[in-house]
């Protein structure tokens, strides 16, 4: 998920608490009109006679928009965002995060249409998964479907509101504070230890870039320079680069990571001839739930709920249901 999507969730969505439940009615008024909140919920849910919820998914390759049943969409997302070989509890945590993300988007925007890419959540259809998985399709899809079914209607809330459930692949041993990457201090997106990530194949990465592409991306001149590149001015508490000076210009670690398409903001840059080698620790923005951390916790016997409430500090799992006259979310 990119920053734009995250900000939409952080600032555009409010749910009103009524005792222990979030209640969002979508009954029609006598005048035939609906309140803004009612209209939002009805459109978001696309409430059909069977009360099913469908998601508008823009298929980036086909250039068409598909209407996908919510559970089918979640299966396609979990299958695309997390390896099917992961433990069931890790997959369940991913399913809960994916459901929270799409439901908050749908309630916030009655006309929402999500992409099938990392801009929102990666999604593959059953036919696409069959092509990707081949003979392993039936085994893998059964496991993914189990993760979605066993977490049915579960979402993550903080202080009565659906959260922005950002996630990433692998940390450098600690997740990052949201304020240190996006400059927004989000109480449930605080740094926590994630030692399990060291077992991830993405824990350490090496990338080789041409000097020309680096100079163009950063607007710098590395002519005559060899060896270590950049003077680290400041690091975050988790060891990620906060500020760095290269060729007399100052950058945030995030700027360098995104401009050079590095795996993380925990990086070292070295010039060797006409190439630059970037060695990074971790993979992703490092904020929220670490997927390999979730797998590590699952291997130790932790439940999906324990995984979720660990990586999203101070949150709880709530149960959302959709009925003919209302949608509710209650504490589990």
Which residues fall within 8 angstroms of residue 170, CB to CB, at 6 or more apart? 197, 200, 202, 203, 282, 283, 284, 290, 291, 292, 293
Mean pLDDT in residue range 31-51: 35
pLDDT band at 1 (very low <50, low <70, confident <90, very high): low
Mean pLDDT in residue range 30-45: 34
**Beta carbons of 25 and 326 less than 8 angstroms apart:** yes
pLDDT band at 277 (very low <50, low <70, confident <90, very high): very high
Mean pLDDT in residue range 180-192: 95
Give the least confident one: 8-22, 49-63, 109-123, 191-205. 8-22
* CA–CA dist 285, 269 (Å, integer): 18
3-state class of 7 per DSSP?
helix
Residue 35 has pLDDT above 60, yes or no: no
Residue 189 has pLDDT above 70, yes or no: yes
Residue ranges per domain, the chain? 3-197+286-331, 204-281
* CA–CA dist 90, 156 (Å, integer): 15
Can you say whether residue 314 is alpha, beta or left, with left for phi > 0 and alpha for psi between -120 and 50 degrees?
A: left
pLDDT band at 86 (very low <50, low <70, confident <90, very high): very high
Mean pLDDT in residue range 143-166: 96
Q: Which pLDDT tens digit goes with each residue over 117-132? A: 999 999 999 999 999 9
Residue 193 has pLDDT above 70, yes or no: yes
């Amino acid at each position: 998920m990119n920053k734009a999507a995250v900000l939409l969730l952080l600032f555009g969505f409010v749910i009103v608490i009524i005792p222990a439940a979030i209640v969002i009615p979508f009954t029609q008024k006598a005048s035939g009109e609906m309140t803004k909140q009612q209209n939002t919920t009805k459109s978001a849910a696309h409430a059909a006679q069977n009360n099913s919820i469908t998601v508008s998914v823009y298929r980036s390759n086909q250039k068409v928009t598909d209407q996908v049943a919510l559970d089918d969409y979640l299966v396609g997302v979990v299958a695309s965002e997390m390896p099917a070989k992961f433990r069931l509890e890790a997959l369940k945590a991913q399913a809960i995060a994916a459901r929270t993300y799409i439901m908050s988007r749908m309630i916030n925007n009655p006309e929402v249409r999500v992409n099938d890419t990392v801009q929102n959540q990666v999604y593959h259809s059953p036919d696409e998964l069959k092509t990707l998985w081949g003979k392993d399709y039936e085994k893998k899809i059964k496991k993914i479907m189990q993760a979605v079914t066993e977490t049915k209607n579960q979402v993550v809330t903080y202080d009565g509101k659906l959260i922005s459930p950002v996630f990433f692949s692998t940390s450098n041993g600690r997740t990052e504070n949201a304020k240190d990457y996006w400059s927004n201090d989000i109480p449930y997106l605080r740094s926590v230890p994630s030692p399990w990530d060291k077992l991830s194949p993405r824990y350490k990465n090496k990338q080789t870039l041409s000097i020309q592409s680096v100079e163009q991306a950063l607007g710098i001149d590395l002519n005559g320079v060899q060896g270590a590149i950049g003077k680290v001015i400041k690091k975050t508490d988790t060891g990620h680069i906060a500020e760095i000076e290269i060729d007399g210009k100052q950058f945030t670690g995030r700027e360098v990571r995104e401009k050079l398409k590095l795996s993380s903001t925990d990086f070292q840059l070295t010039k060797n001839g006409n190439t630059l080698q970037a060695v990074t620790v971790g993979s992703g923005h490092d904020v929220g739930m670490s997927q390999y951390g979730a797998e590590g916790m699952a291997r130790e016997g932790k439940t999906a709920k324990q995984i979720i409430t660990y990586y999203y500090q101070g949150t709880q799992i709530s149960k959302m249901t959709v009925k003919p006259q209302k949608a509710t979310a209650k504490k589990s």
